[in-house]
């Protein structure tokens, strides 16, 4: 015979098991159906690449505001810039070494930039790509920003493709993942 106390304990136990099942089900559903912004793909009319970004971010390839393509968050606290330039020195290893040294010196000598990381490769062997990555902080108009810039060289074409993510210092946690995902999504259709 079950006492009232045992019956209540069993009800609590089954209630707890039921809540645990609901919680696990909810967590699995959230993993399979993530919430967040819808992503879209934009194509640059100027540089001929495709890039993914949240649908509520603006994609501006008019180059009227900046001499680059700009993908910006609705609140302006995060931006991704994409640009290219052509330099005949990029077609050989020695020329790439000079360009990489110039890029590094330019960042390190700029009083508005604090370089926390710089790495580069001139692509001295066929299995090593040439380019650079730099990250740190910079000041502009009394605002502190975090930045990460990646440059890749088109060794036959002499093109340099630059992707730079900027996030306002106070919004790094909010936008780091999104900016990384945008920069990683670029699909160069010709360089």
For range 87-104, the mean pLDDT:
92
Q: Say how far residue 157 (Cα) sits from the centre of its chain.
A: 25
Tell me if residue 130 falls in helix, strand or coil.
coil
**Domain extents in the chain:** 1-35, 39-188
Model pLDDT, residue 66: 78
When mean pLDDT is compared across 38-42, 59-63, 153-157, 166-170, the lowest value belongs to: 153-157
Cα dihedral sign, 109-113-119-125: negative
For residues 164 and 90, give the distance between their C-alpha atoms in angstroms, rounded to a whole number: 20
Q: Residue 123: what pLDDT?
A: 83
- Any bridge partners for residue 145, and if so which? 138, 168
Kindly report the CATH number that applies to the domain delimited by 39-188.
3.40.1000.10
Section 169-179 average pLDDT: 96
| pTM listed for this prediction | 0.76
Average pLDDT over residues 55-70: 90
**Who has greater pLDDT, 91 or 27?**
91
Mean pLDDT of 158-181: 94
Query: Which residue, 149, 102, 97, is CA-closest to 121?
Result: 97
């Amino acid at each position: 015979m079950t006492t009232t106390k045992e019956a209540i304990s069993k009800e609590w136990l089954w209630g707890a098991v039921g809540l645990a099942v609901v919680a696990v089900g909810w967590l699995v559903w959230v993993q399979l159906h993530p919430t967040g912004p819808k992503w879209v793909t934009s194509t640059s009319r100027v540089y001929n690449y495709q890039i993914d970004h949240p649908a509520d971010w603006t994609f501006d390839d008019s180059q009227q505001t900046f001499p680059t393509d700009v993908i910006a968050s609705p609140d302006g606290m995060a931006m991704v810039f994409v640009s290219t330039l052509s330099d005949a020195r990029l077609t050989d290893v020695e020329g790439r070494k000079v360009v990489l040294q110039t890029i590094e010196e330019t960042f390190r000598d700029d009083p508005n930039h604090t370089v926390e990381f710089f790495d580069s490769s001139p692509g001295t062997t066929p299995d090593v790509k040439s380019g650079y990555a730099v990250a740190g902080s910079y000041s502009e108009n009394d605002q502190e920003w975090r930045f990460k810039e990646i440059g890749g060289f088109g060794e036959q074409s002499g093109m340099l493709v630059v992707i730079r993510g900027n996030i306002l210092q106070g919004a790094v946690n909010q936008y780091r993942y999104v900016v990384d995902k945008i920069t990683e999504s670029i699909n160069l259709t010709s360089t």
